[in-house]
Amino acid sequence: MNNSNSAEGGISGERKILDPCTIAIFGASGDLTARKLIPALYHLFKEKLMPASFRVVGFARREKNDESWRTELRTALDQFSRTKPVDDVVWTAFAANLFYCQGDLTDAAAYQKMEVLLTSFGSKPLRENLLFYLAISPSQFGEVVEQVHNAKLLNREGPGWQRVVVEKPFGRDLASAHQLNRELTRYAHEQQVFRIDHYLGKETVQNILMFRFSNSIFERLWNRESVDHVQITVSEKLGVGERGGYYEESGALRDMVQNHMLQVLSLIAMEPPVSLEAEAVRDEKVKLLKSIRHLTPTDVAKQIVRGQYFAGAVDGQPRPGYRQETKVNPSSNVETFAALKLFIDNWRWSGVPFYLRTGKNLPMSASEVRIQFRPTPNVLFAAKCGDGLQPNALTLRLQPNEGISLRFNGKVPGMSLGVRPVRMHFSYDSEFGAYTPEAYERLLLEAIAGDATLFIRRDEVETAWQIVDSIRAGWDGKPLTNREFYSAGTWGPIAADDLLAQLGHAWHEPLVVK
């Protein structure tokens, strides 16, 4: 693909013609802009995937001009670009499209100044086709949406198109998510709101649907008849570090489960959509989330485990306990680990447990989905080989070293009847070896194209919060127990192992692929 104003679409892969547009970044002086957004736009430009004509306008309170902002971004790009060194010729051409608008988010005059700047570009599409990226606190979303509407920059019915991209967290519970969504849709249609979860931009997460629905040998096994249980692991080697204040407000449940993990679960378990159109895919994800069995406080006590790390070591390096981290309450009960056993009450998955776990200060950083199939009947080889004959398992590795592995049993060479699990492994790097875009590159491109498939719809957000709120209600007022603490550098609390042992299952460590 080499066309400068078209790109391959998200899941459907259809070629899309990209309209000339302006991308307005609110929070232009922030970390997200420097680390992710500008590097992503630079790489899209370098790959000739941006529209033929575009502008990027940074909006922030600090005193800067176009040149000083460009210089600042070039310094950041030298540090955060995924390709080094930065191409000076490409950067010069790209930087000519970067402009800065100084102003306070609450100042109506600043938005009028932005409108004048957009008009000065001398092109109707650059003035009317606008992508507003709110790289700011969610508490400021409503203010900005109202201000850009009042400045006649955001309209429900055009002219041109306008879209609003917002980052998580999408609220901190169902009530706040309702309020946030009301603020966002007060001056914009739901179809104009693009809620970004960078996890959905990862290549392998997108490949889940391709793998499931384009391979008949696996598609027909993807149900309760063949699957014994499913494990989804998102482990992080780092502790909370400098994010103690944020983590005290969020915890693992809000930080990872409500968004990333439930999104992956929905893609793994959803029914096939009627098409690859955005709404068809998102309809099935919502149906799946609504099929997750409601959790009462009694269910939470039996099916959900939380944990918190105490001082230990990761790779031989000492790590402080969570309660000793900066800006953390010394008697905090906030969870740094969560494990869930969920059931999906629909025809395909009835009775199949889905285990989810995520945590900080675990032995490795990895994300994977493991589909464990039912064991063979206890006759023939199962009866003769005992525990040596292990159930088949399919592992989708989301990061790092993206790939897919299938485990099956093989006979050990020799005169005796020895058995050993063996693997067939597919690796993206070794098979394709080509450029793989960063998540933000793909998601920004899809937002420019107006494809919402990889973004989260309002009812997805609110359904996920209903699940999380029921868990928090079950934990309310209950302190952590001794079985819920774990040493940094281990795979979590004993209570998480107990959770799986209830049905004779055990956690599997993420697959190490070299």
List, by residue range, all CATH 3.40.50.720 domains of the chain. 6-167
The Cα 220–Cα 348 span in angstroms is: 11
Query: pLDDT by residue (tens digit) across 343-398?
Result: 999 999 999 999 999 999 999 999 999 999 998 776 666 556 666 567 889 999 88
Rounded-to-integer distance, Cα 429 and Cα 459, Å: 36
- Of 264, 400, 243, 266, nearest to 336 by C-alpha is 243
- Confidence at 13, pLDDT banded by 50, 70, 90: low
DSSP letter for 51, please: -
| DSSP H helices in 3-58 | 31-32, 38-46
Q: Is 98 exposed, middle or buried (0-12, 13-18, 19+ CB in 10 A)?
A: buried
Q: Are 330 and 506 in contact (CB under 8 A)?
A: no
Region of poorest pLDDT, from 155-159, 499-503, 506-510: 155-159
Predicted pLDDT at 3: 37
The band of 224, judged by pLDDT with boundaries at 50, 70 and 90, is: very high
Q: How far apart are CA 393 and CA 201, in angstroms?
A: 25
Is residue 260 annotated as part of the catalytic site, yes or no?
yes
pLDDT band at 7 (very low <50, low <70, confident <90, very high): low
Phi, psi of 131 (to 5 degrees): -110, 110
Q: How confident is the model at residue 1 (pLDDT cuts 50, 70, 90)?
A: very low
Average pLDDT over residues 438-449: 92
b/e for 359-375, b at 16 or more Cβ within 10 A?
bbbbeeebbbbbbbbee
Q: How far apart, in whole angstroms, are the C-alpha atoms of residue 120 and residue 7?
A: 28
Cα gap 398→404, rounded to integer Å: 9
* Alpha carbon distances (Å) from 308 to 135, 248, 297, 303, 321: 30, 12, 20, 17, 8
What pLDDT does 439 receive? 84
pLDDT attached to residue 434: 52
Q: Are 99 and 117 spatial neighbours (Cβ–Cβ below 8 Å)?
A: yes
At residue 433, the pLDDT reads 63
- Residues spanned by CATH 3.30.360.10 within the chain? 200-369+437-501
Residue 421 has a pLDDT of 73
Position 200 scores a pLDDT of 82
- Written as one letter, the residue type at 316 is G
| Amino acid sitting at position 317 | Q
Please, which residues have CB within 8 angstroms of residue 32's CB and are 6 or more apart in sequence?
Answer: 135, 167
Between helices 439-449 and 38-46, what is the axis angle to 10°?
A: 80
Whether pLDDT at 183 is above 60: yes
- Please tell me the CATH code under which domain 6-167 is placed: 3.40.50.720
Q: Tokens 């590097």 belong to which residue?
A: 39
Contact 192, 152 (CB under 8 A): no
- When pLDDT is cut at 50, 70 and 90, the band that residue 36 belongs to is very high
Catalytic site residue from 43, 149, 229, 260:
260
d(CA 18, CA 418): 59
Write the class of the CATH domain 200-369+437-501.
Answer: alpha beta
Residue with structure tokens 């819920």? 484
Q: Is the pLDDT of residue 427 over 90?
A: no
